[in-house]
Structure 1
């Protein structure tokens, strides 16, 4: 073999060897793992105490409290624990489909720029998990979802904030929410209409209700009193009032600053008497535009002591947030402690179920051809 040919082969072998070392070193530096491996195999799920989720427009911080997870910026109101748990567990189980080095072009194309980036058209969503001491347990940017030829989801692109590798994973976070109000525990109450014995509507601090809806016996249809002479109660409207708590959900919440619900002249309240002895009062208010709110209080009804075969609800066993969601309070005292400190914003269609005008519970008067009733 001529010396020149040998030299060429030697240089080529050196280049191949250098390329191999470069790729191996890059893989080790970026923490690249094999296809099918879990991206966050070592994530200590139970050690997470703070979850921050952000995009270019919103940011929410979820904090593990003494009893429940809370939404920062909403005075510690409970977060939707089921959805939060699903998010963290999904993150811990992500498997890698493929990976490649990140570049300025790929980060922009796949929307993997940080939410704080000036180019909002290329930003993604960022999830940061922290432990009790504030240490970062996971910090990841979520980018575009991958679509298959059939149009179905094919995973999602993401990047660890402290690494330069883009991963395509098998999970999807396409509908991940970033606004604080979206992470609130939505359910205020969930009381089946069959558990409602009666509903009394009061105006202001009056002791006499403007109307009452009462079941003669459990399981029977509720009847309205009083009904004006010549008029008929609208059973569908009566049922609407009784069903208003099954379930009652919120759009947003704000602290009531320790003040009791307002009872002024003309201010209406609906008192729901339940068969188990609880009494729930609803104080609806509206600005006649787009804001519909209510307050909720609860107490045990002296007049409606539970019968022997209808025991009052007992407090649920204490469980930590890591074991399960915080159960909805069951006793009147628990309900009052959980709900009375808040003013809840609700949707108009739910607000309209709390009918406070007696005439609205009556069927329309049919008119004859000549216009007389």
Structure 2
């Protein structure tokens, strides 16, 4: 028992515990060292950030800095803006608000990009001055702000008007402010890249303001401001093309949403090439348009008097009819579309459907039906317009029938036997061998015998 007590009361000598204390001390030293490194790194990063900030600010430094930090358009009532006029030299663009939507007047009242216009108005409301410069009228041309400048060097003049067509605010956008990069780009741009713009506010200070936004989106191009939402073909079931030449027409169908396409009514020897027909299966799944055409354009000027017609049906019950006209010099095609929808009004109960599942399934069916009706309503709005679409958008619809078929493999040609004739063929006679010639004997001279008398 005493022995067990001695062992039980045994304490590890201090020398054996020193290793643990030493490890803790080393760990403490390492933590302090790491902390010191982090502090140094933090200071370096802070100094770098300060340097970059000052360098950016230095790129705007000029003779005057009055007004820096203030709003470019103080008290700008963006909710009262009902029209935006953008002019540059002889080019003009008018964005007009009608009820809760915006339209492009130079595109026959076609809907404008509501989101983009809203972003532009909010940007102008919040835009702040980085610096100002006192510039005389004779120097305005240097900053592309002179009234006399023309072409691409002319200022872009923007007017914000209310419903009564009264100007609320007006600005002139001049030359873009460029900042040179420390490391030159291999793609050029030696003059730097735009990081701001020179702006002159009408009716305000005569000083030219510099803002920290290049405002590159402000252009007089009408197609730049169009709402580019378009129809979208989903769950394609069949696609039929009617060409002006009936021999080039074709129709492809599929049994299921993800099933393979097959050629309808194939002619003897015709076999569909899956690789060639695959693009047609995804036709118009993400279509887009470049521009809209004037409603006054004559059908014969667009090839709409004899168009290629595509009829597309989907598993959701949509039927699209597209008329494709001629190609323009810019490789765009004229296109018109119409859409119809035939959706089930009631859900067919499934086999062995449980009562507790009925309410959930009915709700899903109703929600889906509402989405289909809304999609149909939105796409119906595209029917009254003629669009310009890119070649790649309609390329799968321009294929001729032969372009979708597999190439026929040529059978190897059989050796042809000579045709039989009435001429009797004589048996081939083998001539006898030529006898060998005997070697020619040489004539030796006759030896003379001596006379016997001598």
TM-score interval w.r.t. the shorter chain?
0.7 to 0.9
- Once the two structures are superposed, the pairs formed by residues 147-158 of structure 1 within 5 Å of their partners are 147-150=178-181, 151-158=192-199
Query: What CA distance in whole angstroms lies between the structure 1 residues aligned with 2:258 and 2:304?
Result: 35
1:274 maps to 2:314: yes
User: What's the CA shift for 1:278?
Assistant: 1.6
Contact in 2 for aligned 1:278/1:331 (Cα 8 Å): no
User: What's the CA shift for 1:135?
Assistant: 1.9
Contact in 1 for aligned 2:80/2:162 (Cα 8 Å): yes
Contact in 2 for aligned 1:270/1:356 (Cα 8 Å): no
Q: What are the superposed Cα offsets for residues 42-92 of structure 1, whole Å, 9 maximum, x if unpaired?
A: 211221110111212521101111342111032211112222222212111
Contact in 2 for aligned 1:55/1:178 (Cα 8 Å): yes
1:176 maps to 2:222: no
- Name which of 52, 56, 70 aligns with 1:37: 70
Q: What are the superposed Cα offsets for residues 177-229 of structure 1, whole Å, 9 maximum, x if unpaired?
A: 2122222222322334xx2222222357x9xx942222211222333323444
Whose relative contact order is higher, 1 or 2, with alpha carbons under 8 Å and at least 6 apart?
Answer: 1
Contact in 2 for aligned 1:258/1:341 (Cα 8 Å): no
Q: Where does residue 201 of structure 1 map in the other structure?
A: 241
Query: What CA distance in whole angstroms lies between the structure 1 residues aligned with 2:378 and 2:267?
Result: 39
Contact in 1 for aligned 2:283/2:396 (Cα 8 Å): yes
Q: Where does residue 286 of structure 1 map in the other structure?
A: 326
User: What's the CA shift for 1:111?
Assistant: 0.9
Residue aligned with 1:240, SS? helix
Gaps of 5+ in 1: 1-31, 317-328
Contact in 2 for aligned 1:299/1:333 (Cα 8 Å): no
Q: Where does residue 129 of structure 1 map in the other structure?
A: 160
1:109 maps to 2:153: no
Q: Where does residue 21 of structure 1 map in the other structure?
A: none
Contact in 2 for aligned 1:199/1:270 (Cα 8 Å): yes
Contact in 2 for aligned 1:127/1:139 (Cα 8 Å): yes
Quickly say closer, same or farther: Cα 1:40–1:224, change in 2 above 3 A: farther
Query: What CA distance in whole angstroms lies between the structure 1 residues aligned with 2:216 and 2:298?
Result: 40
User: What's the CA shift for 1:306?
Assistant: 8.6
Query: What CA distance in whole angstroms lies between the structure 2 residues aligned with 1:97 and 1:263?
Result: 54
Contact in 2 for aligned 1:276/1:313 (Cα 8 Å): no
Q: What are the superposed Cα offsets for residues 286-320 of structure 1, whole Å, 9 maximum, x if unpaired?
A: 15755510111011248x8896676655269xxxx
- Once the two structures are superposed, the pairs formed by residues 137-152 of structure 1 within 5 Å of their partners are 137-150=168-181, 151-152=192-193
Query: What CA distance in whole angstroms lies between the structure 2 residues aligned with 1:264 and 1:71?
Result: 25
Contact in 1 for aligned 2:68/2:130 (Cα 8 Å): yes
Task: Give the structure with the higher percent strand.
Answer: 1
Q: Normalization by structure 1: what TM-score?
A: 0.73
Q: Where does residue 240 of structure 1 map in the other structure?
A: 279
1:186 maps to 2:228: yes
Query: What CA distance in whole angstroms lies between the structure 2 residues aligned with 1:252 and 1:230?
Result: 43
Q: Where does residue 314 of structure 1 map in the other structure?
A: 370
Query: What CA distance in whole angstroms lies between the structure 2 residues aligned with 1:187 and 1:65?
Result: 18
User: What's the CA shift for 1:130?
Assistant: 0.7
- Name which of 84, 91, 114 aligns with 1:58: 91
User: What's the CA shift for 1:175?
Assistant: 4.2
RMSD: 3.6
- Name which of 216, 220, 235 aligns with 2:259: 220
Residue aligned with 1:188, SS? coil
Quickly say closer, same or farther: Cα 1:254–1:307, change in 2 above 3 A: farther
Structure with larger Rg: 2
Query: What CA distance in whole angstroms lies between the structure 2 residues aligned with 1:157 and 1:278?
Result: 52
1:332 maps to 2:371: no
Q: How many residues align?
A: 319
Task: Give the structure with the higher percent helix.
Answer: 2
- Name which of 186, 209, 213 aligns with 1:167: 209
1:87 maps to 2:94: no
Greater shift, 306-315 or 56-65, is seen at 306-315
Q: What are the superposed Cα offsets for residues 138-197 of structure 1, whole Å, 9 maximum, x if unpaired?
A: 2111111212231343311111122312001111213432122222222322334xx222
Query: What CA distance in whole angstroms lies between the structure 2 residues aligned with 1:282 and 1:243?
Result: 15
Q: Where does residue 438 of structure 2 map in the other structure?
A: none
